[in-house]
Chain A
Amino acid sequence: MSKTRVVITGLGATTPVGGDVASTWEALLAGRSGAKLLTADWVEELPVKIAAPAAVEPTEIIERVKARRLDRNAQFAVVAAREAWADSGLADVELDKTRLGVSIATGIGGLLTTLTNYDALRNGPRRVSPLAIPMLMPNSAAANVGLELGALAGVRTPVSACASSNDAIALAADQLQLGRADIVVAGGAEGSIAGLPLAAFGQMMALSRRNDEPERASRPWDADRDGFLLGEGAGILVLETYEHAVARGAKIYAELAGSGITADGHDIVQPDPAGSGAERAMLMALQEGDLAADDIVHINAHATSTPAGDVAESVAIRKALGSAADRAVATAPKSMFGHLLGAAGAVESIATVLALHHRVVPPTINLDKQDDAVELDIATEQRKLGDGDLAALNNSFGFGGHNVALAFKTV
């Protein structure tokens, strides 16, 4: 029996550099940063005063009464899912909703709701919102998208820190390949720019402290990088079996050829410096996709701009691809929109899919002097990809030692 092929037929995103896929892609190609100096009064005492807030406020898009019942992360998910759904053309198709699934991840969930209601509790339990639980639960974004679309084939929320949304996409592919659905709306959302995460990541020395020049703070692979920039937003992809997509005459962006999911078994926050877990994830994605290292022309790297993570990943890429790594153009969109945590993988999967679709790799900005330990060919300007069949990898890694690599290819 031949393997069920999984294709991408719809894209939706809301990010620090654009309120939708088109504006996000345009900003990435132009190398525009979404980093800002935060001005809220709670920023005063923090060592890190910069982040990459969403380019467009979700509350200005979603109906007012609905928006007040959604945490910010679910608001982002709903905005991006609506765009992806419209883009897929499925709104105009008569669907068996028992064959429609949702797989939407988050790293932290409804954190702002948790914080707001904890503050409210100081004034008595009656001040706590009856909506607090349905808003703060990590599955809230997925559940609300599921309700909007009427998805009945299962609504799921994998949680694996910054690998979460690539995990969600891999889970969606599993569901399609097991024959449990024909369409799965997959991705991730995060809305956690607040004092607590900025203080907590700051205490870990994980964040860049380049407060005086926010747009230069996120600098993956640069010798002077000092940590990541916190971003927010969502990325949603419509995944569909090839058969179902072709039968309805859908536009197909790319194929999700294979997924590789591994764990480091090394440390709760530090990547294995040998990169062996990440290497195995990439090799698994290639194997599942019947791809050779030579087929990979582009790598959208996790590359957060932390001193240790960037090197471990580049070591892993060299090991996984061998000499073929020399002809794979690497890029790190986190240089522009920062680290979207549980939404990072999905937004960057969209960037990977669009790079294949448009045959161009967006630049990595702020790479003034490449770290000597990083042996990769990095695009610092737009880089054209060739004709013919193309394949690319998108990596996501998370605290806990989670590694998820996805292999995409042109159709």
Chain B
Amino acid sequence: MMASTEEIRSSLAEIVNEIAGIPVEDVQLDKSFTDDLDVDSLSMVEVVVAAEEKFSVKIPDDEVKNLKTVGDAVAFIERAQNG
């Protein structure tokens, strides 16, 4: 069964918390990883790899630069799961 948007956001928030120490409640769809959440480029790579494992999806390196907000990442994961 595919995860809902909220389930993906919530799991992603836990990953971001584990890797970058950002409080889970701050990881909302409209937040930018770099500007709002202060996730640096190396931590972002870790977040992407952890998300790939968690959601059983592939996030190509070329795609990572398009994932500016939490919402972008959640939408990509939803599409990848459905695809």
Chain A interface residues toward B at CB < 8 A? 63-65, 68, 126-127, 129-131, 134
The CA-CA distance from A64 to B19 in the complex, in Å, is 9
The CA-CA distance from A63 to B20 in the complex, in Å, is 11
- Provide a sorted-by-A list of 14 A–B residue pairs whose CB atoms are within 8 angstroms: A63-B21, A65-B19, A65-B20, A65-B21, A68-B19, A126-B52, A129-B46, A130-B41, A130-B42, A130-B45, A130-B46, A131-B42, A131-B46, A134-B42
B49 sits at the interface (CB 8 A): yes
| A65: chain B residues within 8 A (beta carbon) | 19-21
| A129: chain B residues within 8 A (beta carbon) | 46
| B41: chain A residues within 8 A (beta carbon) | 130
Min CB distance B26 to A, Å, is: 14
The CA-CA distance from A126 to B51 in the complex, in Å, is 12
The CA-CA distance from A130 to B42 in the complex, in Å, is 6
* Inter-subunit contact A64/B21 (CB<8 Å): yes
| A127: chain B residues within 8 A (beta carbon) | 49
The CA-CA distance from A130 to B20 in the complex, in Å, is 14
Nearest first, the 5 A-B pairs at minimum CB distance are: A65-B21, A130-B45, A130-B42, A131-B42, A126-B49
| B21: chain A residues within 8 A (beta carbon) | 63-65
The CA-CA distance from A64 to B18 in the complex, in Å, is 9
Min CB distance B39 to A, Å, is: 11
Measured CB to CB, the nearest residue on chain B to A132 is B42
Measured CB to CB, the nearest residue on chain B to A68 is B19
The CA-CA distance from A63 to B45 in the complex, in Å, is 21
Give residues of chain B (6-65) contacting chain A, Cβ–Cβ below 8 Å. Answer: 19-21, 41-42, 45-46, 49, 52
Min CB distance A124 to B, Å, is: 10
The CA-CA distance from A134 to B46 in the complex, in Å, is 14
| B46: chain A residues within 8 A (beta carbon) | 129-131
| B20: chain A residues within 8 A (beta carbon) | 65
Min CB distance B19 to A, Å, is: 7
